[in-house]
Amino acid sequence: MGRPGWRVPPQPVASSTMPLVVQKYGGTSVGDAERMRAVADHVARTRRQGNDVVVVVSAMGKTTDDLLRLAGDVSSVQPPRELDMLLTAGERVSMAVLCMALAELDVEAMSFTGSQAGIITDTSHTRAKILEVRGDRLREALAQGRVPVVAGFQGVSTERDVTTLGRGGSDTTAVALAAALGADACEIYTDVTGVFSADPRIVPRARRLPRVSFEEMLDIAASGGRVLALRSVEFARNHQVPLHVRSSFTWEPGTWVDEEEPSMEQAVVTAVTHDTSEAKVTVVRVPDKPGLAARLFRALADAQINVDTIVQNTSVHGTTDISFTVPKTDLRNSLQVCRDLAGEIGAGEVAADDAIAKVSLVGAGMRSYPGISATMFQTLADRGINIEMISTSTIRITCVVRSDRVEEAVQALHAAFELDS
Ligand code: ADP
Ligand code: ASP
Ligand code: MG
């Protein structure tokens, strides 16, 4: 995994001797007026305890989904630049309202859009990558004794257009700011008390993990555990920013995500994750000749489509079927690219299936422990859950199953690997 582009070394806030904490509050945490006041209270308390605080906020509640729905209701054509302009409005509301709640508590705060905070990104609208963080205005505000409140999930491109960082991107904003400002801690406040052994909404008996290594968290995030955005974990690992994931409802200590110590006891399976955000594409009867798979996946990559699990069948009569998964949001594009190419290379039809889901086991101990896949496949087989695709990495095994069976699969695997509390 490449080191995210990043040109400016951390410049700690020189004029202050107080520890600096970056606190990120997710959508539910700032979901209504009462929640805003609770967050303001906590920020004020953190200050009273002798810390400088930089706050990063998400859009309130389901605002981002609502704005996306609005866009869909208005038009089937959504230019990415305009989509970004629309979605960044959500975080703008949160930051201004939180500053008002802080003003009432006599905490001097100041809101900043991503652009004002100096978050410079590339030009890929709706999934922009941070290139640089120029945090001067935040440092100035801190030096003046203020609490900067930054709109998460957004930046400004090298072409001076407003961009967004992909769903869940406020986590990435927080980690990038923590790295750039040399913060002492980066706290991710959310609606659960930490990172669990499975999504607690699906497995009520899931356990909170007191500590998770960056390595495992990367695989948990990549395989659907949406509690932290994948990009934010990559950033945290590359810049050695320890994260503390915790609840803004109970404020109790949560999960630390940091570098693993050699002595740390490794569980065989740490978490069971699932992901319903992908769809399967199958290109049938691809001529079995060198270079055709390369052409197919090059064309998809050129269209900025992130292909995940890939399966190629054994060739029969000189052709083979190739299946792969893509984010549902890229499905239309993927079909277009594949259909264009199928014509050129003499392949058959291109089929889409959006009723799939992935279930994964993640655990650093898996690499030195045989038999995990056998137990996983048997557990699914015992429930009559058919496995359609399989992919593995050193610390993860993923199976593609029917989406209407995925919750049952997660629960069964969680029990089979004795993760239930
Ligand atoms: P926020 O708006 O605070 O960013 P998210 O909805 O993005 O919150 O992420 C928190 C949610 O992630 C939880 O409500 C939970 O349902 C879900 N989740 C999925 N997998 C896990 C997991 N392994 N541990 C904790 N939460 C998880
Ligand atoms: N509001 C954005 C989203 O819903 C970013 C975030 O909450 O992290 O994806
Ligand atoms: Mg989130």
Each residue of 291-334: pLDDT tens digit?
A: 999 999 999 999 989 999 999 988 888 999 999 999 999 999 99
Identity of the amino acid at 226? R
CA of 59 to the centre of ligand 2 (A): 6
Q: Are 170 and 153 in contact (CB under 8 A)?
A: yes
| CA 119 – CA 231 distance, rounded (Å) | 15
pLDDT of res. 265: 66
Nearest residue (by CA) to ligand 2, atom 5, is 168
Mutate to test the pocket of ligand 2, among 29, 153, 164 (most ligand atoms within 8 A of CB): 153
Q: Are 289 and 302 in contact (CB under 8 A)?
A: no
**Residue 337 tokens, joined:** 């690219």
Q: What parts of the chain have a pLDDT lower than 70?
A: 1-16, 262-265
pLDDT of res. 369: 85
Q: Which residues contact 397 (CB under 8 A, 6 or more apart)?
A: 360, 361, 366, 372, 373, 376, 390, 391
Q: 0.85 exceeded by the pTM? A: yes
243 forms beta bridges with: 186, 257
Q: Are 190 and 168 in contact (CB under 8 A)?
A: no
3-state secondary structure of 82: helix
133 forms beta bridges with: 119
Among residues 142, 177, 130, 173, which one has the least CA distance to residue 26?
A: 173
- What's the N-to-C CA distance of the chain in angstroms? 34
Mutate to test the pocket of ligand 1, among 32, 203, 207, 227 (most ligand atoms within 8 A of CB): 227
CA of 94 to the centre of ligand 2 (A): 12
**Residue 15 tokens, joined:** 């004029």
**Which element (helix H / strand E) includes 188?**
strand 185-190
Mutate to test the pocket of ligand 2, among 92, 170, 188, 189 (most ligand atoms within 8 A of CB): 170
Complete domains list, the chain, with CATH: 20-258 (3.40.1160.10), 264-421 (3.30.2130.10)
pLDDT of res. 260: 82
CA of 63 to the centre of ligand 2 (A): 9
Residue for token digits 């400088």?
Answer: 52
Nearest residue (by CA) to ligand 2, atom 8, is 168
Instruction: Kindly list the distances between the CA atom of residue 342 and the CA atoms of 208, 289, 325, 328, in Å, as whole numbers in the listed order.
Output: 47, 14, 17, 20
| CA 98 – CA 91 distance, rounded (Å) | 11
The atom number, within ligand 2, closest to the CA of 168 reads 8
User: Max Cα separation, the chain?
Assistant: 76
Q: How large is the angle between the packed helices 372-382 and 406-416, nearest 10 degrees?
A: 130
pLDDT of res. 5: 46
pLDDT of res. 261: 74
Q: Are 221 and 230 in contact (CB under 8 A)?
A: yes
**Residue 405 tokens, joined:** 């069976």
pLDDT of res. 263: 59
CB hemisphere CA count around 232 (13 angstroms):
32
pLDDT of res. 2: 37
| CA 244 – CA 212 distance, rounded (Å) | 10
**Nearest bound ligand to CA 203?**
1
Q: Are 300 and 334 in contact (CB under 8 A)?
A: yes
**Residue 398 tokens, joined:** 């993923």
Q: Which residues contact 155 (CB under 8 A, 6 or more apart)?
A: 114, 115, 119, 120, 121, 128, 130, 162, 163, 164, 165, 173
Nearest residue (by CA) to ligand 1, atom 9, is 227
Identity of the amino acid at 299? A
Report residues whose beta carbon is within 6 angstroms of any ligand 1 atom: 26-29, 58, 168, 190-192, 195-196, 198-201, 225-227, 271
> Over the stretch 62-89, which tens digit does the pLDDT of each residue have?
999 999 999 999 999 999 999 999 999 9
Q: What is the CA radius of gyration of the chain?
A: 23
Instruction: Kindly list the distances between the CA atom of residue 124 and the CA atoms of 127, 131, 158, 203, 254, in Å, as whole numbers in the listed order.
Output: 6, 12, 10, 36, 34
**Residue 374 tokens, joined:** 């056998």
CA of 12 to the centre of ligand 3 (A): 27
Output phi, psi for 352, to 5 deg: -120, 145
